[in-house]
Structure 1
């Protein structure tokens, strides 16, 4: 924790280390304080291995989805996992409108079939590290981690989230990405549809989703990305800003990172 600067007055003796020494030592102290002030308030950096990435396609109108929602919420004990709950909207016409659903999430689920190996769109669908997992209820998330082909650094600077994506020696030369803002601690009392009368709890709810177009990566210069969440953070529903980097050709995830501040 940064210590406040002491006030120097004639005839007042300042004990060390409560105050900075006079002369060059005092100047060094001031420089140290200014450096601390200039440092980003919130940063995160990916590790050497790929972070476990879990995507859930779900709906409040689906009677088999609450079990998957609970399974996903249990991952909160795993800070290494990047998890995203995309609420699809094709259940909305069957009796209950999911307030978290978006046509963009439905479209994403359909587009990802070619990547994750699913033969059709369904809920609940769990995709782990880019692969459709119908056995999600006993899947061992992150049991074996491959070395990451790219690294990510995130920093929160005012209204912006800035990213630096650096390619490793084995990284694809064409990369793409997407941003996703997730919120925690939501609760819905469902009054119609298959879950009528049930109260549902949700975590990792995707509230914003923004794809990033492909770029040609270089191994010497990081790619700089920036994202500004549309809505302000809600203290009642803590949020994370997530960045997932993918191979532009195959769509497979290469690295993911979440920033929770």
Structure 2
């Protein structure tokens, strides 16, 4: 398969390794609707690629600040009628599912930050390498939403219930070293070296028999994720409910006004 681009996502190939790079041309690399659609289409195309054993997913210059809430596509989804909104909100979860479904080993290289939906995407992959100064964060609960994108069971699988509650509910920054101790990150690299480190992991995989790698990965993934859909099938509906609350509106207002929010459970 030759190198190709879909929207802001480019894919190159080297010795049984595919390198997927999100590059929106700014310092946030946020996930617009176009970016999410492009990442999903890339995963679909890689699913049919039998020449690669490993896929490295990265961002340039940082991994991603998560969903781009200023994107017109996201705004249109939030303003859509309820029935239509439920369907439109399937885009991100199906993108994460497409990445999880790849039989190649998937390795995420994180520089800078990996927030919200970007972390949901990262935990859909097999391994995560992070630069020492980078951090992960899930800001959804403090902003009055619930964690969406079917990410909760994947995070629970990685870190256990106590750490999952800390990461999801408190919404605080967790820097690379601590995220490594928790099990979110698999290796900490020096800043600027996450991609090089991820490539070393990819080359180890690429040197192995491809069939054995794919079959073993699929067996492990299926066993650990068997109940995931059962436990997160209401994600979208919970997100819609939370976005209609007064607390959500208060959270957004407080964020822009740079003040502590006053939540009332309404």
Assess same fold via TM > 0.5.
no
Task: Name which structure has the greater RCO, CA cutoff 8 Å, separation 6+.
Answer: 1
Q: Which has the higher strand share?
A: 1
Which one has a larger percent helix, Structure 1 or Structure 2?
2
TM-score, normalised to structure 2, is: 0.25
Larger-gyration structure (1/2): 1
